[in-house]
A and B are shown apart, each in its own frame.
Chain A
Amino acid sequence: MGNPRKVCAYPYIIWIIGFTVIPLGIIVKYALTDSTGVFSLYNILAIAQPVHLKALIFSTEVAVICTLICILLSYPLVMSLKRLGYMGKRFSIFVLILPMWINFVLRLLAWQMILSNNGLLNALLELLHLPTIAIANTKTAMMIGLVYDYLPYMILPIYNCIDEIDDDLIDAARDLGANGFTVFLKIIFPLTIPGLLSGIVMVFVPSMTSFVTANVLGGGKYQLIGNVIEQEFMTTMDWNLGSGLSLILMIFTLISMVFTSGNEEPGKESAIW
């Protein structure tokens, strides 16, 4: 029977079965039946329809770009953080997390106000006698919103990894003649891969489905796969089709999970609190 302490996990096991496994099972059931409850693959195959395929490809494209931008912004940031003292680091991380306490939807609204044709950004450009830009309700505006939302989720895990790297290791490499770039490529980057992977997991799938961001900043002109699913459920009321598309999305989630499984302790304590 093993360790009696296992009993402690039973409430959680019941919870997982009741609120994770069964609900996902229901999605699968809806996905594999038609509106009369007869088995059908129609809802799964519906992803091949041009309308859905387009949304899926577009979402993947957006998610890839968003993840890449987040990675490119995060590395210089965590490298800069590493140069700071203990207090400086702690304070910086604290400041980076702080915006999360203003409501998500309100933050998006604030971006809408900043980017609109008559907004803050264009007012600033005018003040500097530069030409104004029509960035509101474009793909760029949507990308800015997505990167803004998910950047902290990329920074934190990478930072946690980089913070653990022993300075002596870097000094040793330098003494042996490695330049800054080599140090980064040969030491820092490989050691941050676990953090990078969990960052990608936290950013990629969520940015494929962020229907609110697409609606608010994209002006309703861009359809992520999340928008399509939301509409199937809330407007068209085709729950079977919505579930079918959700199931396709879960495949992406599964791919993400393969990434995390190699990563023993994804929720390591960081310096937020």
Chain B
Amino acid sequence: MKKKIIFAALLTAFVALSLSACKSQAKDSITVFNYSMYIDPEILDQFEEESGIHVNYEEAPTPEELYTKYKSGAISYDLLCSSEYMLQRLMSEGELKEVDFSSFENKDNMSSRCMEMCKDIDPEHKYLMPYFWGTVGILYDPDKTNGEITSWDSLFNGEYSGNFIMQDSMRDSFMVALKYLGYSANTTDEAELLEAKELLISQKPQVQAYHVDEVRDEIIGGNAALGVIYSGEGYYAYQENDRLKYCIPKEGSNYWIDCFCMTKDCKNVEGAKKFMDFLCREDIAQKNFDYVCYSSAMNSVVDNYSDAEKNFPAVNPSDEELKRCEMFKQLPKETTEKMGEYWKELKAR
């Protein structure tokens, strides 16, 4: 008897659930593809509330995964947010659509400094809406290191063996090795790449872990003394624990800019434009910066930086520090393949 009752209850629950599943989806919607945790989720809610447009939101952890997922065609996206070298690749493949930025209500909020950074890829400012930018550096806990960290050398000289974290991303890891060796991060020279690979392989036994964004929590939690990190994560960590320091190593590093762009198959152009415009609005941009912690590409936010933000190199690097840094370029296919092969070899060790 009892089993029968449970059975009936389950059946009812099922019918109720199936009915609720049929609840009508909002007709007007856009599909947005972004990096993980790269927007304050409340902004998505607020946008839906104000515009009535539903946002299908999707995330990927790295540029490579974002690209693969987009290219597989499994999901049709309206808006993408990615980094400059990936955007360059997408653009050269004709995947992007022009956007009329002059019609944006908040067009003046987009920082001209950031548009300057995209100049190589998008000279006429037709495709890309700058979102956030930043650098790659070392986050460290001065109580656990022997003094200040100023060089990539700390990751290779064995001083902190078992106590540091590398980035689990092919280009960033190679960038660190290449810069340390004094080469360009965009090198296509096979001998230089090979040297970088050998260096990374010899470094592997000393590495505590290869992580992407977990680096931040591991250092806050005191599980490692230093780690290669993106600037925004570094600033977030600093907010949690103001003892932590961020440095852009003296050998130079990588700086990058992430932009929103419209895909060539965008189905809801008006909705997508509204969303981009919304992100440029002063209050929204501020809210987003407070959540995301990367250097904002919006004038209103930059003008409002607090003293702490102005003085922290992860948010506001000096010109001298930026000059050491280099942007990634799209590499030729052979170099990408070679690097991919080396990376696999490194990970399989």
Contact = CB atoms under 8 A, between A and B. Distances in A.
Interface centre among A54, A117, A227 (most CB of B within 10 A): A117
Nearest to A231: B344
B211 A220 contact: yes
A178 B190 CA distance: 71
Contacts of B348: 50-52, 54-55, 223, 228
Given A51-B344, A51-B348, A235-B62, A219 B208 contact: yes
Contact of A237 (B68, B162, B210): B68
B218 interface: yes
Contacts of B158: none
B64 A235 contact: yes
B207 to A, nearest CB: 7
Nearest to B210: A220
Given A118-B221, A221-B209, A134 B168 contact: no
A256 interface: no
Interface centre among B68, B72, B204, B222 (most CB of A within 10 A): B68
A35 interface: no
A137 B208 contact: yes
Interface string B57-86: 000001011011101100000000000000
A125 to B, nearest CB: 15
Interface in A205-244: 219-221, 223, 227-228, 231, 233-237
Contacts of B69: 234
A72 B164 CA distance: 36
A51 B345 contact: yes
A217 to B, nearest CB: 10
A137 B69 CA distance: 28
Interface residues of A, number: 24
Nearest to A53: B348
B340 interface: yes
Nearest to B166: A220
A66 interface: no
Nearest to B218: A116
B170 to A, nearest CB: 8
A116 B65 contact: no
A269 to B, nearest CB: 13
19 contacts: A50-B345, A54-B348, A55-B348, A116-B221, A118-B221, A118-B222, A118-B223, A136-B223, A137-B208, A220-B209, A221-B204, A223-B347, A231-B344, A233-B68, A234-B68, A235-B64, A236-B340, A237-B67, A237-B71
Interface of B: 62, 64-65, 67-69, 71-72, 162, 168, 204, 207-211, 218, 221-224, 340-341, 344-345, 347-348
Given A134-B162, A236-B64, A237-B68, 19 more contacts: A50-B345, A54-B348, A116-B218, A116-B223, A118-B223, A119-B223, A136-B209, A219-B209, A220-B211, A220-B347, A221-B210, A221-B347, A227-B347, A228-B344, A235-B62, A235-B68, A237-B67, A237-B71, A237-B72
